[in-house]
Amino acid sequence: MRDELTHSSHWGGFTVRVRDGEIDAVQPLHDPDPSPLLGNLPGSLRHATRVARPVARRGWLERGPGPSRDRGSDSFVELSWDEALDRAAAELRRVIAEHGNSAIYGGSYGWASAGMFHQSQSQLHRFLNCIGGFTSHRNSYSIGASLVLLPHVLGSSAAVFRRATPWTVIAKHTDLLVAFGGLPLKNTFVAPGGMARHGLRGHLEAARKRGMRIAHFSPLRDDVVPEAEARWYPLVPLSDVAVMLGLAHVLVTEGLHDPVFLERYCEGGKQFIAYVLGERDGVAKTPEWAEQKSGIAANDLRLLARQMAASRTLVTVSYSLQRAQHGEQPLWAALSLAALLGQIGLPGGGFGHGYGSMGDLGSPSAPLPLPSLPEGRNAVRAFIPVARIADLLLRPGESFDYNGASHRYPDIRLVYWAGGNPFHHHQDLNRLRRALGRPDTVIVHEPYWTPMARHADLVFPATTSLERNDIGSGRADARIIAMKRAVAPVGGARNDHEILAGLAERLGARDAFTEGRDERAWLEHLYARIRELLADVGADAPDFDEFWSRGSLAVPDSESERVLFSAFRADPGHEPLKTPSGKIELFSETIARFRYDDCPGHAAWLESDEWLGSPRAARFPLALVANNPATRLHSQLDAGAYSQAAKVRGREPVRMHPSDAAARGISTGDVVRLWNDRGSCLAGAIVTDDVRPRVVQLSTGAWFDPDDSRAELATCVHGNPNVLTRDVGTSKLSQGCSGQHALVEVERLAADPPPVRAFEPPRIEKRKT
Ligand code: PGD
């Protein structure tokens, strides 16, 4: 029997049917609730947006390296592989010789594709480390604030993300799930590296049948699936902390909190309670005070707080809430609220972060420490918090605050990117365009002509995962999947490893980079470790050939009874947290000592410049929620059938409330313009009461498509919300991404909208002889 063509993606495992060198159909692999994102794969291998051959930007080729505002508008010239690699190697050599390795930014953030070996970032980092190192990045766009705050207040972020109480326990024990940011099903289809079994719908169904209630705080009704029958509290965006403090006020003033838990397990309960009662600032954080900020009735908050105290309650906060200015505060306030209830460490009670934000959070599978390509040691110490990329390029030599210390931005001459799309993930894209005009050279590996590829000087065509062999599995995945090559590399594409091996060869580092292994040898090497891990958890662990022929292996659900912080609760003396006090820090002496005006020593209400209560709202009266999309992963495969089916007149859909639409003469199907002082974009209107009044929702991921690629403030005609978002760190503490919110105005476009050209390749010329 012919082996099945198994494969995997960040949104699930599947088998592929190939016809004429193209994916014709995909079938989910052992998945009870497969992701609709699979619908973007057919037709994706030979789409017109594929980069066919190595190219150089004309201006860079003719005038040599140097700052240029032509990036993004210039044409490209085709090069042979040898010439492209020679030129890239020569430029790396020049930059290192003249400016040192810290002048290379190789942080290269992005989700790339599933697969442990061909992971673009580890490949690139390994290569750059082999040639002396590079300026790197820390943390992620997803959870930039959490990754810095959690170690201060809970001793580690890994516990919260890797050891979260699984959905199996929640379904059995939780009576009341208070979900700040909801539990959006769309996000749970995805996890980095793979997500072989999608189960949220099933768990919510089991919990509902048992009687679990959900209190859902979000400006968007459909952040919880309707079948879960959640009670929707449609709060003003960015007012969650006010609600949490209002609930805390009820618990404290009605004696419903747990002083014994605070004393035994927490540091700083007294300071937090004093703040809630307004003892220092004279502002008691009453439910009435919270109502003013959030629009949620004080009486509803009072009733909810009493229910929380009377039930087994889990307080959870989504990743999206911390992706905002002062994003540390909702996380810390939710933890403080859960601590007041005293249920942390009990089955189905306590605190969670990211249920509904990432598919693997709350997985009952064993969180195996899966191997990846070793990156080696980076000899350069300079780094940036990942979302400070535009500051890095625009402000060389200037200092920035981060987590209690002051650092300096190095002078970057060469930007090297593989497996990410900053024109998707970064904020204030007009500013990013200016920043990318500054370095001498920008090198990008991409399978597709994304906006980042268009802004490069040298573009290397990369394979997609379906053009190579790999092993796929996520962080707490239900399966290890053989990702089999379905077609030969399309056009002139090469995989990231081959491209970098070619460069390493030219720079005298090939052996260090490849260790003499080819793809097959690397896969066998990585699999040997996987086999040990599987054997340790008592799972079937055949040899490599047998695994490859079977196509996938199941990972057992060995952690379906796990409870976050149960060991700490049972014996805080012997199982202390890794915080300075060994306890949960509701007040952090360390953070207080940093004396940051935007992150005090305990959770606090700090107003965002981009919320409806700010003075800016007089000019831009609508709150934009720029959340992650439902019809693709980030910007990946935006040209795919499933993503395209959701567009309105070819633009990204923007949802708005009937009252706001009527006030502006807007109907469903209209093309509208969203704008503020940072830029504007067009989008296709959908009028619905699934969003609260004064809120518009436009997801990220539409490929940036400027009407005038040379304009200072370009309009994206396709609907990328990151032209509107503000490029500012969450706070001096963590400097995370704050892209989730922006204030905007919206109008109906009276004229005929310009065409969307995002999926047309740029001008590519043959070499002048
Ligand atoms: P992707 O679209 O996944 O976005 O940002 P990210 O940059 O990860 O980009 C991955 C790119 O890698 C794609 O262009 C794909 O074609 C390419 N690629 C795939 N496989 C390969 C390969 O094998 N080799 C090479 N060379 N390339 C490959 C995601 C980021 O956006 C994240 S994680 C979050 S959570 C943020 N969320 C928000 C938000 O909520 N709101 C706003 N406004 N902005 C955000 N940005 C962030």
pLDDT (mean) for 548-567: 94
pLDDT-derived band at 768 (thresholds 50, 70, 90) equals low
Q: Which atom of ligand 1 is nearest to the CA of 118?
A: 23
pTM value is 0.97
Residue with the larger pLDDT of the pair 303 and 768: 303
Q: What percent of the chain shows pLDDT beyond 70?
A: 99
Mind giving me the DSSP string for 335-346? HHHHHHHT-TTS
The 3-state DSSP class for residue 381 equals coil
**Interval between CA 752 and ligand 1 midpoint (Å):** 31
CA distances for 174 relative to 168, 217, 332, 491, angstroms? 10, 18, 21, 53
DSSP state of 555: P
Digit-coded pLDDT (tens) for 31-82: 999 999 999 999 999 999 999 999 999 999 999 999 999 999 999 999 999 9
Mind giving me the DSSP string for 88-128? HHHHHHHHHHHH-GGGEE--------S-SSS-HHHHHHHHH
pLDDT (mean) for 440-458: 98
Terminal C-alpha separation, the chain: 53
> Which is it for the CA torsion 518, 519, 524, 529, positive or negative?
positive
| Alpha-carbon span 349 to 174, nearest angstrom | 6
| Alpha-carbon span 678 to 656, nearest angstrom | 21
Cβ-contact 387, 78 below 8 angstroms: no
Cβ-contact 241, 330 below 8 angstroms: yes
pLDDT-derived band at 367 (thresholds 50, 70, 90) equals confident
pLDDT (mean) for 476-494: 96
Across-strand partners of 681?
674, 716
pLDDT (mean) for 246-262: 98
Give which of 417, 461, 460 is closest to 436, Cα–Cα.
417
**Interval between CA 631 and ligand 1 midpoint (Å):** 14
Which residues, at least 6 apart from 33, have a Cβ–Cβ distance to it below 8 Å?
A: 198, 199, 200, 201, 202
pLDDT (mean) for 669-685: 98
The half-sphere exposure of 708 on its side-chain side, counting CA atoms within 13 A, is 7
Structure tokens at 6: 């198994």
pLDDT at 608: 96
What mean pLDDT, rounded, does the chain reach? 97
Q: Is the predicted pLDDT of residue 310 greater than 60, yes or no? A: yes
Catalytic residue among 11, 60, 105, 111: 111
Q: Is the predicted pLDDT of residue 2 greater than 60, yes or no? A: no
| Alpha-carbon span 724 to 430, nearest angstrom | 9
Digit-coded pLDDT (tens) for 391-433: 999 999 999 999 999 999 999 999 999 999 999 999 999 999 9
Best residue among 50, 321, 700, 703 to mutate for probing ligand 1's pocket (most ligand atoms within 8 Å of CB) is: 700
| Alpha-carbon span 712 to 435, nearest angstrom | 12
The 3-state DSSP class for residue 218 equals coil
Best residue among 125, 220, 424, 428 to mutate for probing ligand 1's pocket (most ligand atoms within 8 Å of CB) is: 424
| Alpha-carbon span 497 to 130, nearest angstrom | 13
Across the beta sheet with 55-57, the strand order is 104-105, 414-418, 441-446, 458-461, 55-57, 76-78, 764-765
DSSP element (H, E) containing 355: none
pLDDT-derived band at 1 (thresholds 50, 70, 90) equals very low
Cβ-contact 729, 328 below 8 angstroms: no
Number of other CB atoms surrounding residue 570 within 10 Å: 11
Angle (CA) 369-553-193 rounded to 5° is 45
pLDDT at 3: 58
| Alpha-carbon span 361 to 163, nearest angstrom | 8
Can you say how many angstroms the Cα of residue 392 is from the centroid of all Cα atoms in its chain?
20
pLDDT at 767: 78
Catalytic residue among 109, 449, 605, 675: 109
pLDDT (mean) for 141-150: 98
DSSP state of 163: S
Q: Is the predicted pLDDT of residue 668 greater than 60, yes or no? A: yes
pLDDT-derived band at 758 (thresholds 50, 70, 90) equals very high
**Interval between CA 450 and ligand 1 midpoint (Å):** 11
pLDDT at 769: 58
Cβ-contact 707, 714 below 8 angstroms: yes
Digit-coded pLDDT (tens) for 186-196: 999 999 999 99
**Minimum mean pLDDT range among 259-263, 441-445, 708-712:** 708-712
pLDDT-derived band at 155 (thresholds 50, 70, 90) equals very high
Examine the residue annotation and report whether 605 is marked as an active-site residue of this protein: no
Q: Whose CA is nearest to atom 30 of ligand 1?
A: 425
| Alpha-carbon span 544 to 548, nearest angstrom | 6
CA distances for 451 relative to 72, 426, 642, angstroms? 8, 12, 21
**Strands 12-19 and 22-28, sheet pairing:** antiparallel
pLDDT-derived band at 558 (thresholds 50, 70, 90) equals confident
**Residue linked to tokens 């980042």:** 452
> Which is it for the CA torsion 548, 549, 551, 552, positive or negative?
negative
| Ligand 1 shell residues, CB under 6 Å | 110-113, 118, 120, 141-142, 323, 418-421, 424-425, 445-448, 450, 462, 496, 626-628, 633-636, 700, 721-722, 725, 737, 739-740
* Radius of gyration, alpha carbons of the chain: 26
| Alpha-carbon span 712 to 517, nearest angstrom | 48
Structure tokens at 269: 């309960």
| Alpha helix positions (H), 399-450 | 422-425, 429-436
Structure tokens at 254: 């009605």
Cβ-contact 113, 464 below 8 angstroms: yes
Examine the residue annotation and report whether 109 is marked as an active-site residue of this protein: yes
